[in-house]
Amino acid sequence: MRNHILFVLCFLFLNACTERLYVSSDYDDSVSLIEYKTFAWAENQEQPIRGNPQFDNELNRKRITEAIENKLEILGLEKVDSSPDLLIDFHLLVDQRAYYTAHDYYPFAFRYWPNYEISSYIVKTSTIVIHFVDFNKEQLVWQGTGSWTLASPPLSEDQIQSAINEILDQFQKSRLR
C-alpha cells in the first residue's frame, strides 16, 4: 500500500513539473477555410527580438517555419511562390511576470498585528502566434496561439514541432466546421 501511495505522489509531482502547452485559435466565421489550397510566407516577417536570444533566434525561427510548412503540406495545402490563397506569418513573444504569495502562520483567528511572510517567484512564458491572411482580401482569416511556461530555454526541436502540430490541429478543426 505504501508503494502505491509513493507512486501516486511521484506521478502527481512529475505531472505538475511538466510544461503544458495552452492552445487557442480564432477565425472569421464568414470565410470557408476549406477553400484555401495554397500558401506563401509574408515578405516582411518580424525579425528576432534582441532582448531574448535564448528563445527568439534564427535557429528557432527556421524550425518553426519548417514545422509550419510540413504540417500545412500534410493538411493538403501547397506552398507557392506567387498568388497564394493564404499569406502566413508568425510572432514570438516572451513574457516575464512576478507573482507574490502571502503566508500567514498564526494559528489563531484574532491578533493585534499582522504577521505575514511574503514570497515571490518569477514565471517566464513564451507564446507563438500564427496568422493566416487572405491574400486577395488582405484580411486575417485565422489566428492560432500556443503558449507555455519556460522551465529551461532554449526550446528543443521536439517542443517546437509538438507546439506547431497542436496549434495547426486547431486550424484543421476550424477548416472542417
Greatest mean pLDDT range, 59-63, 64-68, 150-154: 64-68
pLDDT at residue 165 tops 50: yes
Q: Does domain 20-175 have CATH number 3.30.160.670?
A: yes
% of the chain exceeding 90 in pLDDT: 43
Average pLDDT over residues 144-173: 84
Within 8 A by CB and 6+ apart from 125, the residues are 94, 95, 96, 97, 147, 148, 149, 150
Neighbours of 153 (CB within 10 A): 15
pLDDT of amino acid 46: 66
User: pTM for this one?
Assistant: 0.75
User: Which residue pairs from 73-76 have beta carbons closer than 8 angstroms and sit at least 24 positions apart in sequence?
Assistant: 75/168, 75/171, 75/172, 75/175, 76/37
pLDDT of amino acid 157: 84
pLDDT of amino acid 115: 64
Domain ranges of the chain: 20-175
